[in-house]
């Protein structure tokens, strides 16, 4: 549950700071540095943890490297019943 809260908070930060373009770079989603000496300190097997050339954990190894940010994500879509009720126009891109 704690993880879900942190993910939501981070996404809110991206929106607030208008920094969505940062997720286009795969290096923005890396974990801690997991050196060989640090691996040996764990009491369980961490050999399957994927790291990059600099030994940083690749948090989401299944994500494609060609991600792109869509600026429409800075705004949420308006509900269609609200658009017709007050004659609003839908947020751009939705």
Q: How many CB atoms sit inside 10 A of residue 4's CB?
A: 8
Measuring CA to CA, how many Å separate 37 from each of 33, 34, 71, 87?
11, 8, 42, 63
Tokens of 23: 């997720």
User: By the 8 A CB rule, do 50 and 31 touch?
Assistant: no
Taking the whole predicted model, whether its pTM rises above 0.75 is answered as no
Burial class (CB in 10 A: 0-12, 13-18, 19+), 71: exposed
pLDDT (tens, 9 = 90+) of the chain, 94 residues, equals 454 555 567 788 889 999 888 878 766 678 889 998 999 999 989 888 989 899 999 887 777 666 788 999 999 999 999 998 988 899 999 9
pLDDT for the residue numbered 6: 59
User: By the 8 A CB rule, do 29 and 59 touch?
Assistant: yes
User: By the 8 A CB rule, do 78 and 72 touch?
Assistant: no
């Amino acid at each position: 549950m704690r993880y879900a809260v942190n993910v939501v908070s981070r996404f809110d930060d991206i929106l607030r700071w208008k920094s969505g373009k940062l997720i286009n770079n795969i290096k923005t989603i890396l974990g801690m540095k997991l050196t060989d000496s640090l691996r040996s300190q764990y009491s369980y097997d961490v050999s399957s943890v994927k790291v990059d050339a600099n030994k940083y954990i690749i948090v989401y190894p299944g994500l494609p490297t060609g991600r792109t940010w869509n600026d429409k994500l800075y705004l949420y879509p308006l509900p269609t019943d609200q658009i017709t009720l007050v004659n609003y126009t839908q947020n751009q891109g939705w």
